[in-house]
Amino acid sequence: MVWSLTQVKRGLQLAWWGSLLAFENRHLHKHTYVKAFWILVAFNSLRNVDTTYLKKHEGEQNLRASYAPALENYQYGHGGTEVYLKEMFQYLKRTWNQIKIALLLYFLSLLPYVGKFVYPAASAYALVNSLGYLPAITVGVFMYIIPGTKPFAMIFLETLYSSRAMMRELLEPYFGRIHFDSNERRKWFREREGILFGFSIGFYPLVRIPLLGMLFYGIAQSATALLLVKTTEPPPPPGLESTYKIDYHYIDSRNKKKQQKNE
């Protein structure tokens, strides 16, 4: 039997793209059927986070409001079946846009002279907002100078964009109730992009595992409750949405502890 590194890389590509079909089908399933189960998982997790918080800070004053009851005050979606069909259409539209970008990058990479710069540049661009300029450029340079990285760069980019899509689906129980306009939602994601990237990239490979992927997706959905509590404030009562602060500034927990000790 004769095999080479090229064959191994090709096999990895086929395995990765094949598992992507199951991954996308899992998301399509969420938009095809009612989302009651995933919403139930999300709210049970939020209640557990609230209970743990109250036990941990028992007897203290100035505690934050419980998150789950505050979010439950908002109705999930509007319009019944029409809303689900609209959401499914939006999901298919996002997926089609990702496919178009992937095809465009692939054909650009076949061009002479400039083709070798396509995937390194695209990888650096995709990472700028999450990691910053220096780490993103470093990744792009390494992809350029190391030979034979094109198949892995394709997988890398697909992982980045698919993990972001997964994060969007995990946050649907929140955004299905708290309705932001496009600019507010863009700002919400941008200010939390680093944390969302780290969260989603950690769960994404596990969700892609055949058979066990749905189990890990449920774990990720539960863990999203803690992510929400740590990065957002409980929403105000309905009618006071204009007072809801979406700004977020990350503070290193180690620095926070030092400040508390100094005080």
**Of 185, 173, 170, which is closest to residue 68 (Cα–Cα)?**
173
**Least confident stretch, 16-30, 145-159, 166-180:** 16-30
Rounded Cα distance, 76 and 174, in Å: 9
* 257 has a pLDDT exceeding 50: yes
Q: Is 61 helix (H, G, I), strand (E, B) or coil?
A: coil
Instruction: Return the exposure string of 39-72: e unless at least 16 CB atoms fall within 10 Å of the residue's CB, then b.
Output: bebbbebbbebbeeeeeeeeeeeeeeebbbebbe
* 188 has a pLDDT exceeding 80: yes
Measured between its terminal Cα atoms, the distance across the chain in Å is: 69
Q: Alpha helices, DSSP H only, in 110-241?
A: 115-131, 133-145, 150-170, 172-175, 182-191, 193-207, 213-231
Place of tokens 């028992």: 58
pLDDT tens digits, one per residue of 124-143: 887 777 677 787 888 788 77
* 263 has a pLDDT exceeding 60: no
Domain ranges of the chain: 21-46+68-73+86-258
Task: Specify whether the CB–CB gap between 250 and 195 falls below 8 A.
Answer: yes
